[in-house]
Structure 1
Amino acid sequence: MVIKIGGSELENESFLEGLGRAVVHWPEVVIVHGGGPTNNKLSERLGIAPRFLGGQRVTDEATLEVAVLGLTGGASTRLVAGLVRQGVKALGLSGVDAGLVKTRQVEGELGLVGMPVGVDADGLRALTAAGFTPCLSPISLGERGQLLNVNADFVASAVAAGMQADCLVFLTGSGGILVDGQPQARLGAAECRELMASGVIGAGMIPKVESALQALESGVARVLITNLAGLEQFRQGQPCATEVSL
């Protein structure tokens, strides 16, 4: 299983406790995390104004330095500490470590931003088989060996596809994809695209939905967009919102 958590959840100690209690029951889990709030706080302290385009952070040299510090330092350490306290053998890694995630730099206005093109699935499986829970920050290397900022949703999708995971779970505070304020139990690809085009699915959720569809198209068996309570329901074999399907 691959679980993606957002940076805002890392600010919540009770969330980390609950995540640890859930993850400790699964034998082989890879976690991919973001770190937006941490990065924003660092940017503010350093006087660097964050810019976003289509839900993704525009990354220049200064912003990349902030992302490296925030993601591989603060966010990663906070996550790993919270999991270890619950008995999880968590390892804080990034896509850079051992070349676990390979990327190419995207063209356009996003700057030093990459898209995943390959994952060392065997390396990640070796870690999970040894009883460890890899916790990946999305900072990765590009084709020329340059550091690139990568959207954590895209990394999670690539990791799940590369490992042919039985399930990819995006944990969010909303508890699923909302339509008229209500989490939807299940949405197909056509419905998702229509909701994105109409603006019902907002900018922050769009990368998750796009990543969910990409993972399914790449052979991942199931994809859920839910919250911590939904993850526990899923663990117990109960339905939870929102399952994305093709």
Structure 2
Amino acid sequence: MDPISVIKVSGHELDDPAFLGGLTETIRTMHQPVVLVHGGGKEISAAVEQAGLQVEFVDGLRVTSPEVMAIMQMVVCGAINKRIVTALVNAGARAIGLSGLDLGLLRCEPYRPNGRDLGRVGVVTTVDGAALRQMLALGWLPVIAPVALGSADGLSYNVNADMVAEAVAGALSGAELVFVSNVPGVLVEGRVAPTLTPSATEAYIAAGVISGGMIPKVRAALAALSRGAASVRITNLAGLSDGGTRFVSEETGP
């Protein structure tokens, strides 16, 4: 099997029909096996507000009561996931919509950053990589919504989509993880840096070269490397095939 690409797209990008059309066309022309992980974003918040519930975030993570979890699961596993799958199938891909609940694909435990209780928010502990490889061997394209199964209580949990993508890429040995965002890559001296190692990334953060909203993006890339991804890229839709900034380990870096 060719090297696997794990592609992560946020719900904010998927709000744009033109983006979804471009994404499906690009994936259709890719030769390597693909796993797509997606988020939810504004569509979930709108449904939560419509139900008369509070939308609350802590450090970018949605506070998820059981009531919010039911809405989040309905929207991200239903409307959003199936919209992506439909577009991919119509473009000729053998896409299959999944969440971490299916086959127990993603198992998690409650995520309590700094001891803060965020409700049904989880962190992935195990990924059934063998099941994903079997799907890819059949020529299928798994499209994964960021909901996981609680290992201890059997409940569904909301998991940050970046964290899901990191865990999936780490479970698929040799996989490349691509974070598709609204920027072409990491800018250094006005140009997209083609390659960064963890030490170079930390040095640029310390120097203020990498700042603002790019910091959590590069932190997610480094976390994916540490979990076992062979390489990680941050790019936009135009650079999905081979553009953007590639993060590699110190041993394989420039």
**Structures share a fold, TM > 0.5?**
yes
Within 5 Å, which residues of 2 pair with 1:139-158? 139-143=147-151, 144-158=153-167
> Could you list the per-position Cα deviations for residues 93-112 of structure 1 after superposition, in whole angstroms to 9, with x for gaps in the alignment?
00110000111112223221
Are 1:242 and 2:250 an aligned pair?
A: no
2 CA distance for matches of 1:182 and 1:46? Answer: 45
Q: Which residue of 2 aligns with 1:36?
A: 41
Of 84, 105, 110, 1:100 maps to: 105
Q: Which residue of 2 aligns with 1:189?
A: 198
Displacement, 1:57? 1.2
Q: Which residue of 1 aligns with 2:145?
A: 137
* Helix, strand or coil at the partner of 1:118: strand
Of 61, 64, 69, 2:69 maps to: 64
The one-letter code sitting in structure 2 at the alignment partner of 1:163 is: L
Task: Give yes or no for contact 2:230–2:248 (8 Å, CA) kept in 1.
Answer: no
The one-letter code sitting in structure 2 at the alignment partner of 1:224 is: R
* Helix, strand or coil at the partner of 2:240: helix
Unaligned runs of 5+ in 2: 250-254
Unaligned runs of 5+ in 1: 235-239
Q: Which residue of 2 aligns with 1:201?
A: 212
Of 96, 115, 119, 1:111 maps to: 119
Displacement, 1:39? 0.5
Task: Give yes or no for contact 1:38–1:74 (8 Å, CA) kept in 2.
Answer: no
Q: Which residue of 1 aligns with 2:7?
A: 3
Of 223, 229, 232, 2:232 maps to: 223
1 CA distance for matches of 2:20 and 2:12? Answer: 11
Displacement, 1:167? 0.8
Displacement, 1:33? 0.4
Displacement, 1:28? 1.3
In structure 2, do the counterparts of structure 1 residues 165 and 17 end up closer, same or farther at CA, with 3 Å as the change threshold?
Answer: farther
TM-score by length of 1: 0.88
Q: Which residue of 1 aligns with 2:130?
A: 122
Identity of aligned residues (%): 38
Of 169, 172, 183, 1:160 maps to: 169
2 CA distance for matches of 1:185 and 1:39? Answer: 34
In structure 2, do the counterparts of structure 1 residues 187 and 52 end up closer, same or farther at CA, with 3 Å as the change threshold?
Answer: farther
Of 75, 78, 85, 1:80 maps to: 85
2 CA distance for matches of 1:166 and 1:141? Answer: 23
2 CA distance for matches of 1:86 and 1:159? Answer: 24
2 CA distance for matches of 1:54 and 1:182? Answer: 29
In structure 2, do the counterparts of structure 1 residues 56 and 205 end up closer, same or farther at CA, with 3 Å as the change threshold?
Answer: farther
Q: How many correspondences in the alignment?
A: 238
Q: Which residue of 1 aligns with 2:252?
A: none
Within 5 Å, which residues of 2 pair with 1:8-23? 8-23=12-27
> Which 10-residue stretch deviates more, 218-227 or 18-27?
18-27
* Helix, strand or coil at the partner of 1:8: helix
Larger radius of gyration: 2
* Helix, strand or coil at the partner of 1:161: helix
Displacement, 1:34? 0.3
